[in-house]
Structure 1
Amino acid sequence: MTPLQDKIILVTGATSGIGEVTARELARQGAHVILLARNREKAERTQREIIATTNNPLIDIAMADLSVLQEVRDVAAQLHDKYPRIDVLVNNAGLMFGAEREVSADGNEMTLATNHLGPFLLTSLLLDLLQKSPAARIVNVASMAYKFSKPTLDDIQSARSYSPMWEYGTSKLWNIMFTQELARRLRAHGITNVTTNSLHPGAVATGYGQQSGGWLSAVLALGRPFMLSPEKGAETSIFLASDPSVAAISGGYYSKKKPEPVKSSFNTLANSQRLWAMSEELTDTKFLD
């Protein structure tokens, strides 16, 4: 019997980079993997490649653009119709946007919408499916880029000040704070069969940041030969999704498969609770209140 046989695992952003590697390697361990993606052509190609590589036919596709809240609601409803439970949710999708501020279909700044609000809403809507698992895990892919951020909740939409690098770093801090607050709320509600952890995958040689333009794209291109492969970058995601040693741990932040402290003066209980309340308002949901 393979280690993850009978486990149903949803991976977002699963058609490239560490998301694709995470999905492939979890499938190799026997999991029934759902690839959540924005582009159907890429999703179908990834599905074929993973099936061929792993000889595991249990690879499904779900379609949604996480920046569009209605698409998140629609795909969550479809997942409820199709699956009896979800054992692991890997919130992997994340993007760095361009030099000019953009907004989503819902009017939210695109980095915030894609990297935080979409995963927040998806996790909220899938929590009941996760609770149907004997031991569910929520894995949120953050980044040490949280250290390169200018967090403020007074301008969460970056209407007054915008920079692609700062927005990306701030969204990764939101991922970490969301994880920690989610862990606290799961405990407070007596939900003991669902855990959540976040991670830094390392500086990975993927295509992210190319659309940011200007000097940042140039710096990323120069540094890419010295970065980790997606295979190395996915190791901590796979570890948190599957390793028995972290089955009971919740609220942690990991790098290289080891826990690390989060060094941010903005990461306080009060700010985490305020971020949660603002996220609920922006996504029109109530989540473990």
Structure 2
Amino acid sequence: MHLDLASLKSVQSFAETFLKTEPRLDILINNAGVMGLGCTEEGFGVAFGVNHLGHFLLTSLLLERLKQCGPSRVVTVAALLHRLGTIDFSLLTSQKDLVSGQSTWDSFQAYCNSKLCNVLFTRELSNKLEGTSVSCYCLHPGVIYTELGRSMSLWLQLLMMPFAKLFFLSPEGGSQTTLYCALQEGIEPLSGRYFSNCALQQVGVKARDDALAKKLWEVSERLSGLS
């Protein structure tokens, strides 16, 4: 099914089609990730719009089906770089983004910010799912050799390529923690937590802020048209 997370209309359309045609949803893996400049269809910064807001809306629209099919899981691919992330709600309101510029550094910072959003989203989702048969997890998959930076400048891609080939994980290796969170039996009591290398890990200080997670959820509901 066609799904473009850079378009909230596409997310809505996908969810409607899915709910009409698929009777079950047991595992939802929020895996899309972009790093680069530009905007989504609705004018959000591309990293915030795709990595967080598109996934937020998709999960929200499919949540009832996940509850009906429990025990079920939501797995969101975050990153270790969430530790460098920040959330400026006034900037988000005024510029529809979590960074103010369009430089290569802004692109990197926007990615870090979106990954912090992923971890906070999982934390608040876990609170909202308490008492249901749906659990949720987020994770750092490792540093993987993929096309994540395909929208970055050519010189930066060429600079990174030798390092990527030598030191980065293959997509197969980088999928292991995602598969662990999706399939490992008995981790339901760890709902809302963060994993790396198929093991529970501590998140950064900002990612443990329940008030920040709650506010991000409320703002995301408004920005995605759910409230």
Task: Give me the TM-score of the superposition, normalised by structure 2.
Answer: 0.90
1:215 is displaced (CA, Å) by: 5.9
SS in structure 1 of the partner of residue 29 of structure 2:
strand
Match of 2:65 among 120, 129, 150: 129
User: Per-residue CA shift, 1:45-100, capped at 9, x if unaligned?
Assistant: xxxxxxxxxxxxxxxxx1111110011001100111111120000001111113xx
Is 1:195 equivalent to 2:145 in the alignment?
Answer: no
User: Per-residue CA shift, 1:8-65, capped at 9, x if unaligned?
Assistant: xxxxxxxxxxxxxxxxxxxxxxxxxxxxxxxxxxxxxxxxxxxxxxxxxxxxxx1111
> What amino acid sits opposite 1:197 in the alignment?
Y
More relative contact order in 1 or in 2 (CA 8 Å, sep 6+)? 2
What is the distance in 1 between the residues matched to 2:23 and 2:80? 35
Q: Is the 8 A contact 1:151 1:266 kept in 2?
A: no
1:133 is displaced (CA, Å) by: 1.0
* Aligned match of 1:246: 187
Aligned pairs, number: 219
Q: Measured at CA, do residues 266 and 179 of structure 1 come closer, stay the same or move farther in structure 2, by a change above 3 Å?
A: closer
- For residues 1-289 of structure 1, the aligned pairs below 5 Å read 62-98=1-37, 102-156=38-92, 157-158=97-98, 160-162=100-102, 163-187=106-130, 190-191=131-132, 193-213=133-153, 216-225=156-165, 226-265=167-206, 267-286=208-227
Moved over 4 A (4+): none
Q: Measured at CA, do residues 159 and 258 of structure 1 come closer, stay the same or move farther in structure 2, by a change above 3 Å?
A: closer
SS in structure 2 of the partner of residue 245 of structure 1:
coil
What is the distance in 1 between the residues matched to 2:42 and 2:23? 30
- The alignment-based identity, stated in percent, is 32
1:214 is displaced (CA, Å) by: 5.9
Moved more, 138-147 or 260-269: 260-269
* Unmatched segments (≥5 aa) in structure 2: none
Q: Measured at CA, do residues 165 and 216 of structure 1 come closer, stay the same or move farther in structure 2, by a change above 3 Å?
A: farther
| Higher share in helix | 2
Q: Measured at CA, do residues 178 and 63 of structure 1 come closer, stay the same or move farther in structure 2, by a change above 3 Å?
A: same
SS in structure 1 of the partner of residue 25 of structure 2:
coil
1:195 is displaced (CA, Å) by: 0.3
What is the distance in 2 between the residues matched to 1:196 and 1:91? 11
Task: Give me the TM-score of the superposition, normalised by structure 1.
Answer: 0.72
